[in-house]
């Protein structure tokens, strides 16, 4: 008698890609914290074991999410005529893409897969640096300097829109007797405009490498 009391034999009709897609959707909708195996299983109307069978582990799942999203990143057109402008544009695409899909970017940062995530855009940057005349070691230095800097800005920008609790950020500057000008303390206590700040910083870095 097979009354299917356990439901073990049913076909869910889902494959690896479906799980990755659902996981990606879950992260984009409800954030990194929502990505638990049980939650994803519930979303797919399936048990966690099914996910494990198709995907292997949570780490593999995350890697696939990042890879999948990496392929979806649209390569915006590079703007500008001078070499500096075009490199700047390529660098900012990394920032803009990352900020546009904050949740996935957070996931990539937390799991150390940020390089994999943004790789297509980083290639474009490298191409633009070659077009500017850089090669080899010299190019690598410029490339890394830009990548790491953008990464730092992402880190701070993503954190600051996660914690909007009474601006504890700048309070440390005002509640203390450092020997700073009140004017300076005021400026440091306010929440920064990372977008504009990154623009300035990038221009400074790029100017030293592509001249």
Contact residues for DNA, defined by CB under 7 A? 2-15, 35-39, 45-50, 52-54, 57-59
- Cβ closest to DNA, residue 40 vs residue 134: 40
Q: Does 59 bind a second copy (CB under 8 A)?
A: no
Q: How far apart are CA 91 and CA 126, in angstroms?
A: 10
Exactly one of 72, 96, 148, 174 binds a second copy (CB under 8 A); that residue is 148
Burial of residue 203, with CB atoms counted within 10 A of its CB: 0-12 exposed, 13-18 middle, 19 or more buried: middle
Residue with tokens 């004017």: 183
For residue 136, the partner it binds in a second copy, DNA, none, with Cβ less than 5 to 8 A by kind, is a second copy
Task: Please report, to the nearest 10 degrees, the dihedral formed by the alpha carbons of residues 74, 75, 78, 84 taken in order.
Answer: 110
- From CA 18, how far away is CA 24, in angstroms rounded? 10
Determine the interface stretch with a second copy among 3-11, 37-45, 51-59, 113-121 (rule: CB under 8 A): 113-121
C-alpha pair distances (Å), 103 with each of 23, 54, 71, 155: 12, 24, 16, 12
Using CB distances below 5 to 8 A depending on partner kind, what does residue 184 bind out of DNA, a second copy, none?
Answer: a second copy
Please say whether the beta carbons of 70 and 117 come within 8 A: yes
Within 10 angstroms of residue 69's Cβ, the number of other Cβ atoms is: 22
Is position 165 an interface residue for a second copy (rule: CB under 8 A)?
no
* Residue 195 interacting with a second copy (CB under 8 A): no
Cβ closer to a second copy: 47 or 119? 119
Binding residues for a second copy, per CB under 8 A?
109, 112, 115-116, 119, 123, 126-127, 130, 134-137, 139-141, 143-145, 148-153, 155-156, 159, 162-163, 169, 172, 176, 178-181, 183-184, 186-188, 190, 192, 194, 197, 200-201, 203-205, 207-208
């Amino acid at each position: 008698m097979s009354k299917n009391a356990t439901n073990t034999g049913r076909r869910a009709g889902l494959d690896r890609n479906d799980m990755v897609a659902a996981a990606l959707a879950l992260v984009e909708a409800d954030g990194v914290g929502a990505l638990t195996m049980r939650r994803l299983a519930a979303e797919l109307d399936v048990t966690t074991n099914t996910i494990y069978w198709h995907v292997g582990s949570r780490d593999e799942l995350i890697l696939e999410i990042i890879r999948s999203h990496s392929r979806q990143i649209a390569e915006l057109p590079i703007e500008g005529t001078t070499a500096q402008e075009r490199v700047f544009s390529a660098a900012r695409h990394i920032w803009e893409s990352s900020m546009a899909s904050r949740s996935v970017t957070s996931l990539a940062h937390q799991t150390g897969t940020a390089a994999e995530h943004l790789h297509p855009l980083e290639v474009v940057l490298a191409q633009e640096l070659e077009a500017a005349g850089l090669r080899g070691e010299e190019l690598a230095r410029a490339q890394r300097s830009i990548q790491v800097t953008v990464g730092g800005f992402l880190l701070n920008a993503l954190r600051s829109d996660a914690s909007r609790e009474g601006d504890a950020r700048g309070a440390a500057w005002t509640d203390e007797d450092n020997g700073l000008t009140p004017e300076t303390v005021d400026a440091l206590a306010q929440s920064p405009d990372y977008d504009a700040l990154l623009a300035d910083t990038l221009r400074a870095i790029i100017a030293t490498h592509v001249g």
